[in-house]
Amino acid sequence: MKKQKESLTLASTSTRRFANTMVSPTVIILLVMTAYPLVFTLIYSFTDYNLMKRNTSFIALKNYADLLGNAYFRQAIWNTVKFTVLTVALEMVCGFFLALFVNSLKKGQKAMRTLLLLPYLLPAVTVALSWRMMLSPNYGIVNQILTTLNLPVYNWFSDIQTAFGMLVLIDVWQNTPFVFLLLYAALQSVPQAQYEAAKIDGASRFKTMIYVTIPNLKNSLSLCALLRTIDGFRVFEKVNLLTGGGPANSTATITQYLYNFGIKNLKFGFGSAGAIVMTILVLILASAYIKRAIQ
């Protein structure tokens, strides 16, 4: 018995060592690629680090005070939060109902999946340029259609009433397929027996969705919301190419502000402080999803 226990102990020890050996390269890469930059970003945020200056000095919280005291930056924070909340909400709703629709099809599911995924496969720059051409006030197809119908036309990205809404619409159009794909995959794992039981009990489609579908998709919905919240906070290409933060700072975002006033001017200390502020805001917005994932 002792020999058996010793052999089992040795076997489990060797298994753990093998597992740790196989995992360690990944852990090291993650530490180098994430922890190391994060630590140095935090350190640089307390300095006036600038590539044009030879000496870097410690300035404590001055970068943070300059950021939070800047009306443009506060407007960028509000725009980013508003943009993230609106896009995530719309993408979750649209992606969810698209997943239900495609999952209910008897024929053509593969073709429909392919068509719906096309917008998400396009690079953000390509999407922005395509929409800029379509919404051009001079030769855009959208304004041409409105003119044909004797409807008012707009300079979509230069009008303060439409610029922000257009950015939200474009982001929803591009990223809803991502939510659709994750929820569609999750729908495949919902037990059919639950749907059959609901049908036998006489439950309507709405009640079946509320009491069967959504409870089975809770984890997937939380994951989608978390990923889209993080990605929405990082929006940059669309804003930079389509509006540049205008008109009147109505579409300015945190990343676009940091690019203009930090990276372009080589003020990496100032930019690092902004990155830390953005990270904290993302954690606050995503805290509900993270808490649910931990539980």
Angle formed by the axes of helices 109-121 and 71-104, to 10°? Answer: 170
Q: How confident is the model at residue 10 (pLDDT cuts 50, 70, 90)?
A: low
Distances (CA, A) of 25 to 15, 121, 193, 286: 17, 30, 43, 29
Tell me how far the alpha carbon of residue 34 is from its chain's centroid: 18
Task: State the Cα–Cα distance between residues 166 and 156, nearest whole angstrom.
Answer: 7
Look over the chain and give the mean of its residue pLDDT values, rounded to a whole number.
Answer: 84
| Closest-CA residue to 178 (of 131, 104, 119) | 119
Class of 45-294 in CATH: mainly alpha
Q: What is the pTM of this model?
A: 0.83
pLDDT tens readout for residues 32-79: 787 888 888 888 888 888 877 777 788 888 888 888 888 888 899 899
Predicted pLDDT of residue 291: 67
Q: For the chain, what is the radius of gyration of the CA atoms?
A: 25
Local structure of 206: helix, strand or coil: helix
Asked if the bond preceding 247 is cis, omega within 30° of 0, the reply is yes
Task: State the Cα–Cα distance between residues 133 and 137, nearest whole angstrom.
Answer: 9
**Contact present, 176 and 98 (Cβ < 8 Å):** yes
